[in-house]
Amino acid sequence: MTRRISVVIEQDQDGCYAWCPELRGCQSQGATVEEALSNIREAAELFLETLTDEERLTSPHQLVLTTSIEVHA
């Protein structure tokens, strides 16, 4: 069974940090975007292995939205 999961990647001078909003606590990192994607895929698969069949079939989010806002700095 395959499942589509949202991934957020943040990049800075130290590398890339990746996390999955649908899988609370599932996160990884890598030196490059490609490495971070590979690592988060592995982390997500391992995360899903720890869930019961019922938990695996339910999705806590119907929509994951990324946007930006203006703030006074």
Select the highest-mean-pLDDT range: 4-8, 16-20, 61-65. 16-20
- Residue 28 has a pLDDT of 98
Supply 63's token pair.
């929509």
* pLDDT tens profile 25-72: 999 999 999 999 999 999 999 999 998 888 877 766 667 888 889 999
In terms of CATH architecture, what is 1-73?
2-Layer Sandwich (3.30)
pLDDT at 60: 63
Per-residue model confidence (pLDDT) at position 30: 98
pLDDT value for 55:
80
Task: Identify the CA nearest to 5 among candidates 16, 18, 21.
Answer: 21
Report, in angstroms and rounded to the nearest whole number, the Rg of the chain calculated over CA atoms.
14
